[in-house]
Amino acid sequence: MIDEGKPIFVQIAEQIEDDIIDGVYPAETQVPSTNEFAAFYRINPATAGKGVNLLVDDGILYKKRGIGMFVSDGARERLVAKRRDAFSDEYLRPLLAEAAKLGIGAEQLTRMIQTAADERPATPHIQTTPTASPSKGVSA
Amino acid sequence: MSAAPAPTSIAPAVQVSGLTKRFGSFTAIDDVSVTMKPGRIHGLLGRNGAGKTTLMQLITGQDFATQGDIHVFGEKPTENPRVLQNVCFIKESQRYPEDFQPKHVLRSAPWFFENWDAEYAEQLVDEFRLPLNRRIKKLSRGQLSAIGVIVGLASRAPLTFFDEPYLGLDAVARQLFYDRLLEDFSEHPRTVVLSTHLIDEVANLLEHVIVIDQGRILMDEDAETLRTSATTVVGPRGAVDEFVRAREVLHRDGVGGLASVTVAGLSASDRSQAAAAGLELAPVSLQQLIVRKTDVRETGIEQTA
């Protein structure tokens, strides 16, 4: 689950962001503690704390003293907006670079995207996952 | 009766400066200065014979330095009970009295460690499946290592060293050790120093990494900083050479028209520049990085073993 090359704390922050976008942690719910994240991902607790603090600095999470970390109101909407801004750089450009390498033109690529989209079963916008906290058993 | 000075969170747990240890004409530790902050898990890494164990012996007051200063929780460690009762050193070659059984070790541990948690030790004995009533001489290598791991965890010493603690432990038992270490460290923060060759296995547990090579400190960095400090660039030889020209090259490899070159850290703009040039970027793990830095073939230092 943790891959090399990217700071682990950034990956922890992204993982929590993903879970907020997916609706695992709705607004005003508590997220697992730093120590729970550390144990689950098998990483140093300070590293996990750094990831959580990244989201606190961004206003995505906020701290309730003596209780824990909670998802801010409107966090999901802000994360979706941020990810949309990054979509072109992170997904479209690499896709186009690979397509160009293979001689796939923009028009053909558009058709391929349309075909793939048609084949894809309709999925609800927000996926709800039954567990609100990460469970053991997912391989690291 | 024991007025153990509570280690404050600001003072370093270990402070070593200008430390040298010679055995005859052999210099095992060569002018080493290093600081270990409290409440962190440190990795002390390096090749066989690099000086890891000697350094730990000096810090834990088991040997005298030829030169230099060592302070553990602000005091000199040698023959200093105030320091030693706060230190636990688990070593690969721990010896026990003749006819000792694991239960004798666990029974005597509280004499040395005031934070000893007997209940936790019992839980670990179950989990590691350690036979308590067998003579230690008759135990397997892995069971012997399990004793050390259990003592190291249950002692909850403010400064705990694990020197290759898991010889003979199978993968399940090692994972158990890592999980319990993280868990117990979270609940009872303390300063831990983990010395090991299994760098890949412990890389994510570490907050700080100290690499020692031929008695000298080679790296002394935040683990997170090291993780992203090197990148391997792969692609057509010409394009790779062009890209790495002005950079610090750690390693070079290639096959046919393909080159693979490891360089020191890249910025975000370096990365997009590489992508634009059609080059692939691969991360370098902590283990690979240390191999690159300590392999004499890489550094060009000729040496006969």
Per-residue pLDDT at B2: 45
Positive or negative: CA dihedral B36, B71, B158, B103: positive
Regions of chain A with pLDDT less than 50? 127-140
Per-residue pLDDT at A94: 84
Residues of A in contact with B278 (CB under 8 A): 101
Say if A139 falls within a structural domain. Answer: no
Per-residue pLDDT at A135: 43
Say if A1 falls within a structural domain. Answer: no
- A51 and A71 in a single domain? The answer is yes
Distance CA B116, CA B40 (A): 20
Report the CATH fold assignment for B14-225.
Rossmann fold (3.40.50)
Q: Across the strands, what pairs with B35?
A: B15
**Nearest chain A residue to B206, by CA:** A44
Distance CA B299, CA B305 (A): 16
Per-residue pLDDT at A123: 61
Q: CA nearest B85: which of B167, B24, B159?
A: B159
DSSP secondary structure code for residue B75 in this structure: B
Could you write out the three-class secondary structure of A41-106?
Answer: HCCCHHHHHHHHHHHHHCCCEEEECCCEEEECCCHHHHHHHHHHHHHHHHHHHHHHHHHHHCCCCH
**Nearest chain A residue to B192, by CA:** A44
Distance CA B272, CA B37 (A): 37
Where is B262: in which H helix or E strand? Answer: strand B258-264
- A30 and A50 in a single domain? The answer is yes
Distance CA B161, CA B44 (A): 10
Instruction: Flag if A44 and B178 touch (Cβ within 8 Å).
Output: no
Instruction: Flag if B178 and A4 touch (Cβ within 8 Å).
Output: no
Residue A98 lies in domain: 86-119
Confidence label for B173 from pLDDT (cuts 50, 70 and 90): very high
Predicted confidence (pLDDT) at residue B9 exceeds the cutoff of 60: no
Residues of A in contact with B275 (CB under 8 A): 94, 97
What distance in Å separates residue B280's CA from the closest CA in chain A?
Answer: 12
- A35 and A69 in a single domain? The answer is yes
- A100 and A59 in a single domain? The answer is no
Distance CA B260, CA B240 (A): 8
Distance CA B179, CA B210 (A): 22
Establish if B273 touches chain A: CB-CB under 8 angstroms.
Answer: no
Average pLDDT, chain B: 89
Per-residue pLDDT at B276: 80
Whether this model's pTM surpasses 0.80: yes
Mutate to test the interface with B, among A1, A2, A4 (most CBs of B within 10 A): A4
Say if A101 falls within a structural domain. Answer: yes
**Nearest chain A residue to B42, by CA:** A44
Confidence label for B303 from pLDDT (cuts 50, 70 and 90): very low
Distance CA B45, CA B168 (A): 19
Q: Across the strands, what pairs with A69?
A: A63
Mutate to test the interface with A, among B182, B183, B206 (most CBs of A within 10 A): B182
Report the CATH fold assignment for B228-298.
Alpha-Beta Plaits (3.30.70)
**Nearest chain A residue to B231, by CA:** A5
- pLDDT (tens digit, 9 = 90+) per residue, B254-298? 888 899 999 987 888 888 888 888 898 888 888 989 888 887 665
Domain count, chain A: 2
- A12 and A63 in a single domain? The answer is yes
Predicted confidence (pLDDT) at residue B122 exceeds the cutoff of 80: yes
Contact B36, B192 (CB under 8 A): no
- pLDDT (tens digit, 9 = 90+) per residue, B33-49? 999 999 999 999 999 88
Instruction: Flag if A8 and B204 touch (Cβ within 8 Å).
Output: yes
- A107 and A68 in a single domain? The answer is no
Positive or negative: CA dihedral B216, B222, B224, B230: negative
Instruction: Flag if A39 and B182 touch (Cβ within 8 Å).
Output: yes
SS3 helix, strand, coil % of chain A, rounded to 5?
A: 55, 5, 40
Per-residue pLDDT at A131: 45
Distance CA A80, CA A99 (A): 26
Per-residue pLDDT at B298: 52
Where do the domains of chain B lie?
Answer: 14-225, 228-298
Rounded to 10 deg, the angle between the A106-119 and A93-101 helix axes is 120
User: ipTM exceeding 0.90?
Assistant: no
Per-residue pLDDT at B210: 96
Q: CA nearest B261: which of B271, B248, B277?
A: B248
The DSSP bridge pattern shows strands B87-91 and B67-72 to be unpaired
Per-residue pLDDT at A125: 55
Residues of A in contact with B232 (CB under 8 A): none
Number of cross-chain residue pairs from A and B with Cβ atoms under 8 Å apart: 61
Which amino acid, A103? G
Q: CA nearest B44: which of B68, B60, B63?
A: B60
- A105 and A69 in a single domain? The answer is no
- Least confident residue range of A19-33, B90-104, B123-137: B90-104
Residues of A in contact with B282 (CB under 8 A): 5
Residues of B in contact with A42 (CB under 8 A): 178-179, 182, 204-205
- pLDDT (tens digit, 9 = 90+) per residue, B202-253? 999 999 999 999 999 999 999 988 888 888 999 999 999 999 988 889 888 8
Say if A42 falls within a structural domain. Answer: yes
Per-residue pLDDT at B92: 83
Residues of B in contact with A34 (CB under 8 A): 186
- Closest partner residue to B186 among A7, A35, A101, by Cβ? A35
Per-residue pLDDT at A138: 40
- Closest partner residue to B185 among A34, A42, A45, by Cβ? A45
